[in-house]
């Protein structure tokens, strides 16, 4: 899994701020309690200094340290019981001063050894989904809201199935892809006319995959190639464009929407070939949405690009009536 450094660093900074705030909170609580209950301060001092003092005395006298340790345990339990009783009797609650971490596993550091803790992974996944929601309407576009009844159940004589049957199949493939996504997942090519749900289903996949903690870059082909042009020719937004390009190339899942709507030039063909070739070589999954038919790829782009799009991607065909047009006409 590829972690986005910017997002990961932001999450870790938030965790550090929370840890600092929590430490300051308990310091304030101690001062509050100590001011009202000086005996609690005395108990805390004794608890913190008893162990070393008892063991040092036992070793200096040549006594068995096991006996000293047992005495120490007994004394500490007595002090802890006194402390809890004092706090409860004065309305603080027995655990008012117990500075326990929010995550017992990692102690709020975010790591267990060198591996990210589950708490960090959950926060990272939530941040990925939050960032994705600024690009896509994932609140509205999710698998639960996908409407199969929008598609005709009348069989298509040429294809041997209805648009609804075809979408049932496409939906099942996309659901399974999202639920089982890993860095070893295959590539998907969603193709067909406009308004048939390609963008909707790829948005659904993006939502689930990001919730599982994988980084997703979702953008239109126009904006993707515009970013490459800005970097190549040093446009005013070159720095921000370079950040987007790194994301396109390094994310766990890249979704290219509306391939074929960009202006076809020698530069865009070269950029597309480079992006596809690099991600295929590194085995980083992609989803491509397009209104083009696979037979049109070679003419619009190049034989090399057509070969990759048809040979390295699992193809899902979309057909039927334009759903968006039906909604505009009020026929749904």
Same structural domain for residues 179 and 314?
A: yes
Residue 222 confidence (pLDDT): 93
Residue 124 confidence (pLDDT): 83
Q: How far apart, in whole angstroms, are the C-alpha atoms of residue 290 and residue 310?
A: 13
Residue 198 confidence (pLDDT): 93
- Residue 125 lies inside a defined structural domain of this protein: no
Same structural domain for residues 106 and 141?
A: no
Closest by CA to 215, choosing from 240, 173, 244, is 244
Domain encompassing residue 157: 135-329
Q: How far apart, in whole angstroms, are the C-alpha atoms of residue 316 and residue 309?
A: 12
Same structural domain for residues 304 and 167?
A: yes
Residue 48 confidence (pLDDT): 79
Closest by CA to 85, choosing from 75, 73, 76, 95, is 95
Count of structural domains within the chain: 2
Closest by CA to 97, choosing from 15, 31, 20, 17, is 31
Same structural domain for residues 104 and 140?
A: no
Residue 130 confidence (pLDDT): 76
Q: How far apart, in whole angstroms, are the C-alpha atoms of residue 240 and residue 244?
A: 6
Instruction: Name the domain boundary from 78, 111, 144.
Output: 111
Residue 56 confidence (pLDDT): 66
Tens of pLDDT, residue by residue over 192-249, are: 988 899 999 999 999 999 888 898 999 999 999 999 999 888 877 788 889 889 989 9
Regarding pTM above 0.75, the answer is no
- Residue 116 lies inside a defined structural domain of this protein: no
Closest by CA to 135, choosing from 255, 288, 240, 227, is 255
Residue 57 confidence (pLDDT): 61
Same structural domain for residues 26 and 152?
A: no
Contact 55, 65 (CB under 8 A): yes
Q: How far apart, in whole angstroms, are the C-alpha atoms of residue 313 and residue 287?
A: 8
Residue 114 confidence (pLDDT): 85
Same structural domain for residues 176 and 306?
A: yes
- Residue 22 lies inside a defined structural domain of this protein: yes
Same structural domain for residues 150 and 61?
A: no
CATH no. for residue 293? 3.40.50.300
- Residue 127 lies inside a defined structural domain of this protein: no
Same structural domain for residues 85 and 188?
A: no
Intervals of the chain under pLDDT 50: none
Residue 308 confidence (pLDDT): 96
Query: Between vectors from CA 210 to CA 313 and to CA 279, what angle results, nearest 5°?
Result: 35
């Amino acid at each position: 899994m590829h972690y986005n450094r910017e997002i990961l660093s932001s999450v870790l900074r938030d965790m550090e701020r929370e840890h600092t705030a929590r430490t300051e909170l308990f310091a304030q609580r101690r001062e509050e309690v100590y001011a009202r209950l000086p005996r609690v301060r005395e108990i805390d001092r004794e608890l913190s200094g008893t162990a070393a003092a008892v063991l040092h005395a036992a070793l200096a006298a040549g006594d068995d340290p096991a006996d000293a340790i047992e005495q120490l345990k007994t004394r500490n339990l007595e002090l802890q019981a006194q402390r809890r009783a004092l706090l409860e009797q004065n309305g603080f609650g027995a655990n008012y001063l117990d500075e326990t971490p929010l995550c017992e596993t990692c102690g709020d550091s975010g790591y267990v050894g060198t591996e990210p803790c589950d708490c960090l992974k959950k926060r990272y996944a939530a941040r990925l989904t939050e960032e994705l929601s600024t690009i896509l309407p994932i609140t509205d576009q999710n698998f639960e809201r996908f409407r199969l009844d929008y598609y005709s159940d009348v069989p298509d004589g040429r294809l041997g199935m209805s648009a609804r049957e075809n979408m049932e199949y496409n939906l099942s493939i996309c659901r399974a892809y999202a639920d089982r996504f890993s860095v070893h997942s295959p590539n998907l090519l969603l193709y067909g006319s406009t308004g048939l749900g390609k963008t909707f289903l790829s948005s659904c996949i993006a939502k689930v995959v990001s919730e599982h903690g994988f980084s997703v870059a979702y953008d239109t082909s126009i904006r993707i190639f515009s970013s490459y042009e800005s970097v190549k020719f040093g446009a005013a937004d070159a720095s921000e464009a370079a950040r987007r390009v790194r994301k396109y190339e390094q994310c766990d899942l890249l979704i290219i929407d509306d391939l074929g709507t960009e202006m076809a030039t020698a530069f865009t063909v070269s950029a597309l070939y480079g992006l596809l070739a690099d991600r295929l070589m590194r085995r980083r999954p992609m989803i491509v949405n397009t209104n083009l038919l696979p037979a049109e790829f070679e003419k619009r782009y190049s034989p090399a690009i057509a070969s990759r799009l048809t040979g390295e991607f699992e193809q899902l065909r979309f057909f039927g009536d334009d759903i968006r047009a039906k909604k505009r006409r009020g026929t749904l």
